[in-house]
Structure 1
Amino acid sequence: MSTVLLIEDEAALGMIVKDSLEVRGFAVQYAADGEQGLRLFRAGPPDIVVADVMMPKLDGFSLAEQIRAENQTVPILFLTARSQTADVVRGFELGGNDYLKKPFSMDELIVRINAQLSRRPAPAPPTAGPLPIGRYHFDYPKQKLYLDGQAADLSNREAELLKRLYDQRNQVLERGTVLRELWGDDSFFNGRSLDVFITRLRRYVKDDPQVQILNIRGIGYKLIV
């Protein structure tokens, strides 16, 4: 049974969603504001976080930022009436995995939740050792990127994306293929999320000018090493 941490300040909506999820076999922890939600999260990480954006005490974006400082892997799905592109991009930059606009149907929410849960990566097979990327060494199973002995911790999706770029290094990695494999489809919102993750990876490798992640317009990306 998967555990959902639901954080929604509209009490009526929160209880409707909670009851509907429980009827469908989920275990639900419910919080009425961001601070309570963060306390519940720290008490025991759920399988997925479903959080409103506009909440008292601690808004959804600030909540996601704090969660990501402690946990890089749990999926975060935002519920919000705000659908401006800048808001969507900010949510992905702070570590959100999906974005559902209010009002929404329960069927759509269930599909989104199951999609995120199904994308949790299987344990990585052992490799011969860290993969060389210029001056960096990428430990894919441990999701760490090393430079001069210092390690940067990658999220699951960052590690999966970097591994695909490495496997296709000096060749084009097709954008559509990545979106279908890691995000489930090539929708606009998922495309913006992928752009955010590419930007993050560029920041990780910025200290070696010989390593570049190039945009190949209309096709995808290329890791140059």
Structure 2
Amino acid sequence: MKSLLRILLVEDDHDLGNVLTQYLKMNKFDVELCRSGDEAMKRILSQSYALCILDVMLPGVDGFTLAEHIKNKQDTTPFLFLTARNMKTDVLKGLKMGADDYITKPFEPEELLLRIQNILKRAGNGAESVYRIGEFYFDYSRYRLRLGDQQRDLTAREADLLKLLIDNKNTVLKRSDILKTVWGEDDFFLGRSMDVFITRLRKYLAADNRIAIQSVRGVGIMLEVNE
């Protein structure tokens, strides 16, 4: 029997935590629910998860601190934040930390499930695609970017975005098309999120001056590769 993917859910709202736990279990996930950041910290240090769902505001250790520990323990573990609708600064902070997604309260469990599925959709597809861009090797199936003996583990969303740019290298992609493909919808605030990810990818690729992610004003984004 195939083992269920294990998810860590950290949510101090008693009712919401119970609803999400039951809903995700109904959809074939193994869910561990923690009510506080301190409890979750102990789990993170001793367990591994396919995905972590972190409420930003928690008693004790907050969601951002938990995310830092997740990244230090295993940088490839995807995580998403649950945040209050009026805390957009928290969303930007979370994305800069490497969060794969966020969802604002209140929300329907179905929306959370779709976001989880989008993050994990390639986990079992057996893809073994390795791309060469300049001096870099990009292993999409493992979310890894390598230059010589230096290796960087990407988040799932970073990998999705980089693959889209590579598949369309030296071609300008409309911002709206990138957002719909990688984020699922074209939205102004998601556009801010995309800019954060573009900035990170630029830094990752800066070691090879033959590669550049160009912003074409009023049009979109292009991965320029001079081979």
Deviations 1:94-146 (A, max 9, x none): 1222222223333433343344333647333355xx6142xx32232454434
Asked whether 1:215 is paired with 2:215, we answer yes
- Taking the aligned partners of 1:78 and 1:173, their CA distance within structure 2 comes to 28
In structure 2, the partner of 1:170 is 170
In structure 2, the partner of 1:151 is 151
Once the two structures are TM-superposed, the CA of residue 60 in structure 1 deviates from its matched residue by: 0.7
In structure 2, the partner of 1:139 is 138
- Taking the aligned partners of 2:57 and 2:182, their CA distance within structure 1 comes to 28
In structure 2, the partner of 1:62 is 65
Deviations 1:147-178 (A, max 9, x none): 45323333333233223323332221333333
Q: Higher mean Cα deviation, 93-102 or 77-86?
A: 77-86
In structure 2, the partner of 1:92 is 95
Asked whether 1:81 is paired with 2:84, we answer yes
Residue pair 1:38, 1:67 contacting (<8 A) in 2 also: no
Alignment of 1:6-155 (within 5 A): 6-81=9-84, 83-118=86-121, 120=123, 122-127=125-130, 131-133=132-134, 136-141=135-140, 142-155=142-155
Once the two structures are TM-superposed, the CA of residue 221 in structure 1 deviates from its matched residue by: 1.0
- Taking the aligned partners of 2:160 and 2:113, their CA distance within structure 1 comes to 25
Q: Higher mean Cα deviation, 168-177 or 113-122?
A: 113-122
Asked whether 1:206 is paired with 2:209, we answer no
- Taking the aligned partners of 1:160 and 1:25, their CA distance within structure 2 comes to 24
Aligned residue pairs total: 221
Taking structure 1 as the reference length, the TM-score comes to: 0.80
Residue pair 1:88, 1:99 contacting (<8 A) in 2 also: yes
Taking structure 2 as the reference length, the TM-score comes to: 0.80
SS of the aligned residue for 2:25 comes to helix
In structure 2, relative to structure 1, the CA distance for the partners of 1:77 and 1:157 (3 Å cut) is: closer
Once the two structures are TM-superposed, the CA of residue 42 in structure 1 deviates from its matched residue by: 4.0
- Taking the aligned partners of 2:144 and 2:109, their CA distance within structure 1 comes to 37
What residue identity is the alignment partner of 2:207?
D
- Taking the aligned partners of 1:149 and 1:42, their CA distance within structure 2 comes to 28
In structure 2, relative to structure 1, the CA distance for the partners of 1:23 and 1:164 (3 Å cut) is: closer
Residue pair 2:37, 2:60 contacting (<8 A) in 1 also: yes
Unaligned runs of 5+ in 2: none
Once the two structures are TM-superposed, the CA of residue 58 in structure 1 deviates from its matched residue by: 1.6
- Taking the aligned partners of 1:207 and 1:117, their CA distance within structure 2 comes to 29
